Structure 1
Amino acid sequence: MYIDHIFVIGSTTNRTRRQAGRRRSIIREFALNTSTHGIPDVGMIAMVHDNPQLPLIDSAGMAVATGFKHRITYTKKIISYLRSPYSTCNDKIPPVMLAILDNYQGAKYGYSEDICYELCTQQCFVTNFNIKPSLWKTPPTWLMDDIKTFLENSEIPLSIDWPTNWRSHVDSSYLSVELVHESTLIENYTQIATMTAVDALPNVGGQTGLWIGVSFLSIMGLAEILYRLARHQYYAIRRAYNRTQDDSKI
């Protein structure tokens, strides 16, 4: 596999990203020498991922076929979850994952639960890319001679029948991938606590005070009822006693 060229469209060195305000795209052209290995029309696997994100290309990659120009348009989305005590998310790399990431020397990959569902907890920060793939037939006829000249002047080993069948080899081995920003804006979804520790204290205190007030009023009401019943019973007994005394005098 040989990379023809890489270039950026819509960006300048003396302007910032926000000032430019234009979509950027990266085009990579590949010449896959599949005929040497006897495997014709073999494509590639492409994947869009963040810098600290481990590229699990076997499970998350998309297939790109030779003979086509593939455009991958993407937008970036970041989801931030609340930490303890609101969730069990964690960004600390466990020893099991650390042993795996140590094999990637020079790469600084971050925490990911994708490679250890059973041992790793939920990520606090999740980065997703929304992909919109499209393709069209390539290379065009006007580009064939330039590709032929480039391949013959490169170190790519060519097949024995290259002089007579070079067009068919280019058609079956040429591949172009264009990566395009749909938007320079990044979607951020952040969980926000509706009640913090500072809010919980006055709320609990207010609820406690309310229940204490209600309980006190209830006790006072019960005491008043008992007092009225005792008073009514006292006057009833006293009236009966006075009536008995009056009857005895007669």
Structure 2
Amino acid sequence: MTEKLSRKFVQKVWGVDRLPPEFGAGHEARIGEVWFKPPAQLPELLAKYIFTSERLSVQNHPNDDLARALRLGPSGKSECWIILDSEADAEIAVGFTREVAIEDARKAALDGSIVELLAWHKVSQGDVFYIPPGTVHAIGGGVNLVEIQQNSDITFRLYDYGRPRPLHLDEALEAAVTTPYPPHLRSRLEDSGPVLVEGEHFTLFCIRADETPTMDACGPALALPLTGEPSVDGGILALGECVLLENVADARFSGSGIVLLAQPTPR
């Protein structure tokens, strides 16, 4: 049994004037994100699309303990990006090129040179980046991606290219991991098995609709089609949509393409 989740279009200064056709036409604002309302069965997970025309701020997010200590909410934010499309030279920054002292990171954030300290990765369709809390990162322009995250909107900005938005240096540096990004946290869709990411707070499965998936999973899950024309239980999973599966163990996939499934990681 499936339930289609409602969508929310979110305006961003770094958003785009035109969305892919599956999101419809007639959006007057620059849309940067499309959020899917978390269902009551999975309130801790948020699925969204992100569309960029220019670089996002250099930022990070707290872990659960820091979010609670700062009285900002019950949870921090870990996330995962799956690149759907990108311009030829599109990049994202994840982690630093070397270990950086906290005070050096503060100075670099204040004068903008933090951009040069970050490790910029060229991206293409199918790249996957798991982003633990504290990781300093920035999505570049010309990227379309899917993000699965803890359902938290706590963001600490270290640098924002002169945009008139507040920075959060003290909080960001308290949360920051100022070392290079671990290579094993990056992967490719075509190289993955059924388990794409197994993080502390959520697990992502990569299902090929024309195969019989073998997963050790049950219970509710978010299903989001990434490519092709997949179906589940006889109903089409349209690109640009996200649905709730009542019990992933009972779901039957058919058609073609790749489907992303997201569940909380059992504790």
TM-score, length basis structure 2: 0.26
Higher relative contact order (CA 8 A, sep 6+): 1
Per the normalisation by structure 1, the TM-score is: 0.27
Larger radius of gyration: 1
Greater share of helix: 1
